[in-house]
Structure 1
Amino acid sequence: MPKQILVVCVGNICRSPMAEALLGSLLDPAYGVSSAGIGALVGDPAHPMAVQLMQEQGLDISTHRGRQLDESLLQAADIVLPMEQQHARWIEERWPHARGRVFRFGHWDDTDIPDPYKRDEQVFRDVLELITTAAASWKQQLDRL
């Protein structure tokens, strides 16, 4: 059974922190869920709208800080969940040994999750809905293992 899940987006301040919090809240505590970015805003806090939306869900990501995806994070992960197919390709091109462990976060719904960065509140809410659906799908699949 995979235990370490790494969620990946670009800046690691919008999508992946929300997905990390939501997926982590759904899964058995035996799972470790973390996040990183392929072009991370290292050290930056989660976007204020992401923090607000997570607070509305009863989840606190206010202490989150962006971090860059690197070899050590990738090695520690049993499953890597990038937000978009292009992120999956980027990861697999740089770290071919990751193939077979990289699946889009929206894999089960066959969808990319678009970046809400510098967009309005409604876009963030739409993205949160996609993340919520995808997280529930991952929970369902992981519960079968």
Structure 2
Amino acid sequence: MFKNVLVICAGNICRSPTGEHLLRRNLAGSGIRVSSAGLTAMVGHPFERNALEMLQRHGQQPHVHTARQLTPQLLQASDLVLVMEQRQLQDVIRLSPVSRGKTFLLGKWQNEREIPDPYRRGPAAFEHAYALIEEGVKAWSQRLQPQR
């Protein structure tokens, strides 16, 4: 049973906090804790403006977010680690080799699809990333929900 899920991207201001929010919403009441971090986090920064606006346009009211750096301790405390890109999967394994068996792409169930970074790329890139994140979150949520 997964109790702690960690969502990772680069800066922890766009993709991973979006994934964290959507996954947390989908798993509400399950007892599964969801958090996020960044490999090269913009520590202390809030949601990137376009990412926050994208969530709000989709009717979401995300929690207050502050970017944090990924650490071996965060990885150790997680039962499942979800990343956006194949390169990030390799970076996680380099940082914590014992995390190999619990680290997957958020897009795993969409043929190992990567989710490109929309940072500084405009609204269309954020819309595309949001759609991919939402699809990945739905697939993982179905697999993480305890059988009722």
With the length of structure 2 as denominator, give the TM-score of the two structures.
0.93
Instruction: Measure how far apart 1:144 and its partner are.
Output: 6.0
Residue correspondence of structure 1 range 96-115 to structure 2 within 5 A = 96-109=97-110, 110-115=112-117
Whether the 8 Å contact between 2:21 and 2:63 is mirrored in structure 1 is: no
The yes-or-no answer on 1:9 pairing with 2:2 is no
TM-align CA RMSD: 1.3
**Sequence identity percentage:** 41
Structure 2's unaligned 5+ residue stretches are none
The code of the aligned residue for 1:136 comes to K
Aligned match of 1:117 in 116, 119, 139?
119
Letter in 1 for 2:14: C
Instruction: Give distance in 2, aligned partners of 1:20 and 1:90.
Output: 20
Structure 1 unaligned residues grouped into runs of 5+: none
Q: For the residues of structure 1 that align with 2:95 and 2:46, how far apart are their CA atoms?
A: 26
Deviations 1:10-61 (A, max 9, x none): 0000000100001111114311110000000000111011111112233333
- Report the number of matched residues: 145
**In the alignment, which of 127, 130, 147 is matched to residue 128 of structure 1?**
130
CA deviations over 1:96-144 (Å, ceiling 9, x no partner): 1111110111111120000000011011001100001000000111136
| Shift in alpha-carbon separation, 1:28–1:45, aligned structure 2, 3 A | closer
Distance 2:28 2:21 in 1: 13
Per the normalisation by structure 1, the TM-score is 0.95
Which amino acid in the other structure matches residue 19 of structure 2? A
